[in-house]
Amino acid sequence: GSMVFNRVPGQVLNDSMRVKAHVDEVQQGLSPLPAAYQGEGVLLGIIDTGIELNHPDFQDSLGRTRVLRYWDQKYAYDPVLTPAGFGYGQAWDSTAINAGQCPAVDDPGQWGHGSTVAATAAANANGNGHCAGVAPQAELIIVANDLYHPNWGASVVDAVRYIVEQAALLDRPVAINLSLGSY
């Protein structure tokens, strides 16, 4: 297979997505579902521009991060922080994030795209009390992808591999979102 990348103006899709995917009905556990589902026990892997780690929607009620792993592919190789088997970027776990040791941010040149995507998928409404995402109880694995990586396609494949490996180490099911490319 191959990947094609181009830039196309954005479209408003969140409201229609919630309706078409029956998000409210799933979160409420309406028939024929046996229960309500809000992402409990599930990991969401987001491959995008990063995330605003300090936003309340990505923290629990005690202010601890819901991001269990964060790999920023734009950072230089570091013998301690670069994930094994990849040779570039730096990664942090939730302990380091909670200790304020993760300097990564949502790429300001991309207008908060990664945070918007992560919020659509998993915001828990701690920010304003009424804008929950699809899976507000899920935890996150974030890969800040480098759109200008010399082999961008390979960096996306690496991101997927990293998320799958981390989910396996955590022994948790994972869903991965790649809001990359065009419509």
Find the range with the poorest average confidence among 59-63, 93-97, 150-154, 179-183.
179-183
**How many Å separate Cα 124 from the centre of its chain?**
13
Q: Is it the case that residue 132 has pLDDT exceeding 70?
A: yes
pLDDT at position 148 is 85
pLDDT at position 129 is 79
Amino acid letter, residue 76? A
Measured from the Cβ of residue 92, the count of other Cβ atoms closer than 10 Å reads 22
Q: Is it the case that residue 142 has pLDDT exceeding 70?
A: yes
Q: Is it the case that residue 159 has pLDDT exceeding 70?
A: yes
pLDDT at position 115 is 94
pLDDT at position 146 is 87
pLDDT at position 111 is 83
pLDDT at position 27 is 85
Per-residue pLDDT reduced to its tens digit, 39-73: 999 999 999 999 999 999 999 999 999 999 999 99
Measured from the Cβ of residue 63, the count of other Cβ atoms closer than 10 Å reads 10
Q: What does the pLDDT average to over 89-111?
A: 93
> CA separation (Å) from 79 to 82, 87, 88, 128, 172?
6, 9, 10, 40, 27
pLDDT at position 86 is 96
pLDDT at position 8 is 66
